């Protein structure tokens, strides 16, 4: 059920908050062994929060998320509940404070069912780099969910929560949403506070939402967005009311179709499905405008240089001294740090740290990091030029459907190139939303993305909602 439907049933007392929460917990217990979407399930806490939510509902003081069971990606700090980043180095880390988004969800009476599995430190595109084992796609458990928010997307697709908070650094909400056949929203950089989000790449990270529909993502975003004094990069431009344009006419709107997103590397069935969605918009009165983004061919290289450089800096804090895992039998301070990081981090995290430090080294900084920053500026300029004439931009979310587990994980370059359709949005700090627009010959979902101007989430949500109402989405059946 949609969040609004669940809310109405709670308000009308057709179902109680504790009863609703228990129904999700029962389903998790019964079926998540096949999916591995949760790292930590919180039945006692969820029951307490549901009881508190019921009191709000009974008092007539309930917002739309009051009593709604949600799941939270395990790199978002939750007071008193383990936050592991799916890494050995934080396996037993329990935060003493809540992230700002959690404070806002707690205040409104939402229920947290548990913490979601993910790629370690959000580094990966398959959710197979987790220290706690990989996540399996509910549509086909032999396939990946995408990453890094694979647990978030899988939990929504499998019906293990009403919606989930994920994070998106280079497509990490949208790509798993596409692979798992749900809707994934990456807000504008600064629209949602990052305070309490364990950083991967601070200039690219953004907390987002996985849900069953564009409207559901909007309802969650209404609660978690806004300026936060604890996060200097959060913006006052995030005003909320993200459902405001749903149901309004699309006639006369212009949709940019950047030709580079439909070229080499994009499978024929993905290209066909997205262009069929474009025809829907054309029939709704929109004008399709062919546009160009010449810098797309450099985007993946620029993204991995920038994100890895920031990751190398951010992850330097994990040294075995202050918190987290500490290696044993070290004879010196230097050896302790070396052994802790060698034993505590997985291969993909080590790869990013090495790449980031290399790019920042004296003698290589100008050749790599500075050039990547120039490409970033060029991508921002190219998006701005497109938005001079277009209201939104339509692209595929991923070049292919979800692949078999083990098929690409041992080829980092191939894995990185799979981000080609999503990384430019993070580089430019723009909002984007992914929703299913078809199914491949393998039966797996195909996703399309709508990209908007900065802080224009309401627009892309309205475009997405209009399409979703016309599209027959398949559901996972257990």
130 catalytically annotated: no
Tell me which H or E stretch contains 214: helix 214-224
- Tally: H helices and E strands in the chain: 15, 11
Residue 283: alpha-carbon gap to chain centroid? 31
Catalytic one of 87, 127, 130, 148 = 148
CB-side neighbour CA atoms (13 Å) of 343: 16
Tell me, yes or no, if 295 is annotated catalytic.
no
HSE-up (13 A, CA, CB side) for residue 137:
26
Q: Which of 127, 172, 193, 449 is catalytic?
A: 172
CB 261 within 8 A of CB 290: no
CB atoms within 10 A of CB 378: 17
| Beta pairing class for 111-116 and 69-73 | parallel
Q: How is the beta sheet containing 207-211 ordered, strand by strand?
A: 38-41, 111-116, 69-73, 163-167, 207-211, 183-186, 432-439, 445-451, 392-396, 254-258, 287-291
Q: For the range 325-334, what are the long-range contacts, defined as Cβ-Cβ under 8 Å and sequence gap of 24 or more? A: 325/88, 325/89, 325/90, 325/91, 325/92
96 φ/ψ angles, rounded to the nearest 5 degrees: -100, 10
Q: Is 37 known to be catalytic? A: no
Instruction: Fill in the DSSP letter of residue 199.
Output: P
DSSP symbols for 116-133: E--SGGG--SSS---TT-
Q: Measured between alpha carbons, how far is 62 from 254 in angstroms, rounded to an integer?
A: 38
H/E stretch holding 254: strand 254-258
Tokens for 125, please give them. 């595109």
- Separation CA 293–CA 259 (nearest Å): 8
Contact at 8 Å (CB) between 395 and 258? yes
The DSSP code sequence of 313-365 is: HHGGG-SSSSSS---SS--SHHHHHHHHHHHHS-HHHHHHHHHHHHHHSTTTT
Neighbour-count burial of 278, counting CB atoms closer than 10 A to its CB (0-12 exposed, 13-18 middle, 19+ buried):
middle
212 and 163 in contact (C-beta within 8 Å)? yes
CA–CA gap between residue 419 and residue 449 (Å, rounded): 13
Give CA–CA dist 297/419, Å, rounded.
12
Catalytic site residue from 73, 115, 186, 253? 73
Active site positions, annotated: 73, 148, 172
């Amino acid at each position: 059920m949609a969040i609004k439907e669940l809310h109405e049933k709670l308000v009308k007392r057709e179902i109680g908050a504790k009863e609703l929460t228990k129904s999700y917990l029962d389903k998790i217990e019964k079926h998540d062994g096949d999916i591995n979407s949760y790292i930590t399930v919180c039945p006692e806490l969820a029951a307490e929060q549901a009881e508190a939510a019921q009191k709000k509902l009974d008092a007539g003081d309930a917002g739309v998320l009051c009593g709604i069971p949600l799941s939270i990606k395990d790199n978002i700090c939750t007071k008193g509940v383990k936050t592991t980043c799916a890494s050995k180095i934080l396996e037993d880390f329990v935060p003493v404070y809540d992230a700002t988004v959690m404070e806002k969800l707690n205040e409104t009476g939402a229920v947290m069912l548990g913490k979601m599995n993910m790629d370690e430190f959000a580094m990966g595109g398959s959710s197979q780099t987790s220290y706690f084992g990989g996540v399996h796609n509910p549509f086909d458990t032999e396939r990946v969910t995408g990453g890094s928010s694979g647990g978030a997307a899988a939990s929504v697709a499998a019906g293990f929560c009403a919606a989930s908070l994920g994070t998106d650094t280079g497509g990490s909400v949208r790509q798993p949403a596409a692979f798992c056949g749900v809707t994934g929203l990456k807000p504008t950089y600064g629209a949602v506070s990052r305070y309490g989000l364990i950083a991967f790449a601070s200039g690219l990270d953004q907390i987002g939402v996985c849900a069953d529909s564009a409207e559901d993502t909007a309802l969650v975003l209404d609660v978690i967005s806004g300026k936060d004094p604890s996060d200097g990069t959060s913006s006052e431009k995030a005003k909320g009311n993200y459902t405001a344009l749903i149901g309004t006419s699309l006639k006369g709107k212009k949709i940019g179709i950047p030709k580079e997103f439909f070229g080499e590397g994009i499978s024929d069935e993905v290209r066909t499905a997205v262009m069929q969605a474009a025809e829907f918009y054309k029939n709704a009165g929109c004008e399709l405008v062919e546009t160009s983004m010449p810098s797309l061919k450099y985007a993946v290289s620029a993204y991995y240089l920038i994100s890895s450089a920031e990751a190398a800096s951010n992850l330097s804090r994990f040294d075995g001294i202050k918190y987290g895992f500490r290696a044993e039998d070290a004879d010196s301070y230097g050896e302790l740090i070396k052994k802790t990081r060698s034993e505590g981090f997985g291969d993909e995290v080590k790869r990013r740290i090495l790449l980031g430090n290399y790019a920042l080294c004296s003698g290589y900084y100008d050749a790599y990091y500075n050039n990547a920053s120039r490409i970033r500026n060029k991508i921002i300029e190219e998006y701005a030029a497109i938005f001079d004439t277009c209201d939104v931009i339509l692209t595929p979310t991923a070049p292919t459907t979800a692949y078999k587990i083990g098929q690409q994980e041992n080829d980092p370059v191939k894995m990185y190139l799979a981000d080609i359709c999503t990384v430019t949005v993070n580089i430019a700090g723009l909002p984007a939303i992914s929703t299913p627009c078809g199914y491949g010959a393998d039966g797996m979902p195909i996703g399309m993305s709508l990209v908007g101007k900065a802080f224009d989430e309401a627009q892309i949500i309205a475009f997405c909602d209009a399409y979703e109402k016309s599209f027959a989405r398949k559901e996972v059946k257990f």
